[in-house]
Amino acid sequence: MKFYLFIITLVYILLSCTPAPKELPVPLLEFKPGMIDKKLYKGKIKDGKHWKDKRGENVVILTQTGVYWSNVYDATRGAKIFAYHFIKTADNSFKEIWKISEVVEACAFEVKLDFFYNSLSITDLDGDGMAEVGFILSKGCKSEPGPEEKKLVFYEGQNLYTIKGTTSVIKGSQKMGGEKVVEKRFEEEAPGEFLDFANKQWNKFGVSQAIK
């Protein structure tokens, strides 16, 4: 009896120690801006990634229009940025499967709208063979130096999650901004490793910038 109890206990311990699925490396391929037809996107490409996963060959690009006049008579300006996700089709062309955009419009002050450099990430944190895409942007219409709106976008397939807040800046001995609101469904529905990674990314960009 004691022997069988020992065996059952041992099996339970071994099962309890089985490691959770680990992050899988995503095979990144060379990205060239010219691989996507200019008719398929707006603005100029600022960054891009090219990889393969279980869906096939993927390309994500981040683009920006730059600052433009919204209304010459009102002396207001604007800017737009876009993120596009394409998948290669059977005829070797690329088809858009996902797009998101942000805009600053009718701004009479300084227009700020951009992606954080090197914030574009391609991961497979849950090891399911489908890559996740993430990036962080900032935006504002500013009459003086200070915090800007900040947004992290993270998605897998059709599941989109966000963190919103502001950049944090330091002026003299005063720290301003640094607000952060995690979308409720990000906390409740996304795998834990997604939010852990997103929080780390959030803390890398737009934090404690010194201003005059």
Tens digit of each residue's pLDDT (9 = 90 or more) over 98-138: 999 999 999 999 999 999 999 999 999 999 999 999 999 99
**Rounded Cα–Cα distance for residues 47 and 64 (Å):** 10
What whole-number percentage of the chain has pLDDT above 70? 87
User: Rounded to two decimals, what is the model's pTM?
Assistant: 0.86
Task: Look up tokens 């795998």; give the residue.
Answer: 191
The pLDDT, as a whole number, for residue 21 is 54
Confidence class for position 211, pLDDT limits 50, 70, 90: low
Of 116, 127, 159, residue with least CA distance to 25: 127
What whole-number percentage of the chain has pLDDT above 90? 77
**Rounded Cα–Cα distance for residues 93 and 63 (Å):** 20
Confidence class for position 70, pLDDT limits 50, 70, 90: confident
Q: Indicate whether 11 pLDDT > 50.
A: no
Q: What is the 3-state secondary structure (H, E, C) of the chain?
A: CHHHHHHHHHHHHHHHCCCCCCCCCCCEECCCHHHCCHHHCCCEEEEEEEEEECCEEEEEEEEECCCEEEECCCCEEEEEEEEEEEEECCCCCEEEEEEEEEEEEEECCEEEEEECCCCCEEECCCCCCCCEEEEEEEEEEECCCCCCEEEEEEEECCEEEEEEEECEEEECCEEEECCEEECHHHHHHCCHHHHHHHHHHHCCCCCCEEEC
Q: Are 190 and 197 in contact (CB under 8 A)?
A: no
- For the chain, the average pLDDT equals 89
173 or 118, which is more confident? 118
**Rounded Cα–Cα distance for residues 205 and 146 (Å):** 15
Q: Indicate whether 4 pLDDT > 60.
A: no
